[in-house]
Chain A
């Protein structure tokens, strides 16, 4: 107990020292970010950093932003708490694996607002947010179905978690909707960011006759492998055109800027509330980069599908959905699978000739 109160006194003294820095410094909101990969991954973490810069641009002197990169998930509690202790008022933790540590630190610092990406545990000062990337994957699935000459498309997955599995299913359903005989091959990289492994996975797919590569890993390595072999691919998280100008058909871009700016504004205005946001194409969180390297009719189809998803007319997981063994999935949403069903998806849809690692 003695040491605890001592820490309290020291913390209080530190806070006083900080607030003595003048009125301007006092009002400045410090916004912190925890990234799972390097900011230079040109994918997932890179896009979150783009969002961070958007906050700086939008609020200028009113905010100060900080990031800690390549934070191992099992060892993240300290990094999050470091941000909490250094006067940050709003903290974004941007990987699923940060869920428990974020929750622990949030409980300890009730006056600080926390935002955790892709998780499901919330608290009065802890929001969650994620994007419906599977909407974009349906579109690229259709493009792949049209563009594949070999009739076999490929997918480089990170981990067989629901978010990734839902992406594969959506991609395959999209492809199947334009080419009922399409086949898919999936290779797991077992890492979010490991360019060498990702490239190996893509090469293994190409060696097996795949001519279109989609990826759910963070580096441009898979699409670069497709480019090197004269095949096609899709950018992931970020527009990867500069890495594969001939191979990129389009990219599913995560655009966190608007969300980050909105949430920062909410804290500045004093009306931040804990919430759960799952934004799709209509929210602007999921953005399709320009459709390129494809014939006009494919481009037109893609644009129409995008518009249909945006307006809510098309849901990639509209019922009926059949599992691999042919059994129907119970339809818990309104004519489609419910959000919970998609968020917890752990089965492949019918037609995927592979076994889901479980």
Chain B
């Protein structure tokens, strides 16, 4: 006896759009069951996880803060993944963008440098991430090296470089030798969108990135070219699209956006360089990109949902004294349900029995 997946001939767009919704409901039902088995109220958990963060202005702000780097990075990854190139190293590109941008912040620290510092920092962040993303792209186009391996390994190079810098040359001389840079001057700090709020301009960049990408992927030749390269590489070559140029372009875009996320996070949220400037945004963004089905709007929604599970998880610990493990289990359940819903929509599951003669 075994299961077989056969592709469905046609899937209506309505069903396809409803699949994630069904997945979310299923995930909540499963998680509710677990919480009920733990002897807690699933209703209270749902309230703390979902309704409270969505109805409280402070939590909404935090939601945007947390979703900002996820959305920026995942949008960039959509370019790569659509063209079937596997950039797994967004975490490294994020770090290099943050490092290159922060270099200017530290150079101008304590000087009377003017308003130009911040924009140049952001540009350096994009440049750093893009150049770092181009390394695996170049290795792939020039030598045929697998980009999954190189981009992933370059993450460690980036993290260790940052580690070296904050322990060595960029260490705050007045910081008791602790591994961290000075805190950035106001001229090098990405300001909050609303006075005294926590949402910085990175959220605006993310929104712009979503809109621009929606247009680029959906309505331009470049977007078509990416899709074609991903779905039918031979056809793309016949059409005269250079795979090489496409590879370099998508890695530069995705690296640049990850770099922007990095410098925005450091200058808008953390305010200084530390050995660790990301709780794994670059990797979580891969999940976000797929949860959003590589669609810009979908990614935006997915980034908000993933951010919600983080914030809800903290609330659950505080309000209901539920352990962190449950939050992580819930994130896993959610991803599995979305993937399963996708598979069930695209494929028919058939049970094939082999009969008695065995």
A interface residues (Cβ-Cβ under 8 A, vs B): 1, 3-4, 6-7, 10-11, 32, 38, 66-70, 72-75, 77-79, 81-83, 85-86, 96-97, 100, 120, 159-162, 190, 343-346, 357-358
Contact = CB atoms under 8 A, between A and B. Distances in A.
Given A38-B324, A73-B274, A67 B176 contact: no
A5 B192 CA distance: 16
Interface of B: 56-58, 62, 65-66, 163, 167-168, 176-179, 183, 194-198, 269-272, 274-279, 311, 314-315, 317-319, 321, 323-324
Nearest to A165: B177
B278 A358 contact: no
B275 A1 contact: no
B317 A67 contact: yes
A77 B194 CA distance: 18
A96 B178 contact: yes
A97 B178 CA distance: 10
B276 A100 contact: no
B271 to A, nearest CB: 7
11 contacts: A4-B195, A7-B58, A32-B318, A68-B318, A69-B323, A74-B274, A74-B276, A78-B311, A81-B58, A97-B276, A100-B183
Contacts of A120: 176
Nearest to A78: B62
Contacts of A78: 62, 65-66, 311, 314
B132 to A, nearest CB: 19
B176 A1 contact: no
By secondary structure, the B interface counts as loop
A74 B195 contact: no
Given A4-B194, A7-B57, A161 B178 contact: yes
A66 B318 contact: yes
A83 B271 contact: no
Contact of A162 (B66, B176, B275, B278): B176
A170 to B, nearest CB: 17
Contact of A73 (B66, B163, B276): B276
Contacts of A97: 274, 276
Nearest to B272: A100
A75 to B, nearest CB: 5
A77 B183 CA distance: 15
A346 B178 CA distance: 9
A193 to B, nearest CB: 13
A343 B176 CA distance: 7
B62 A70 contact: no
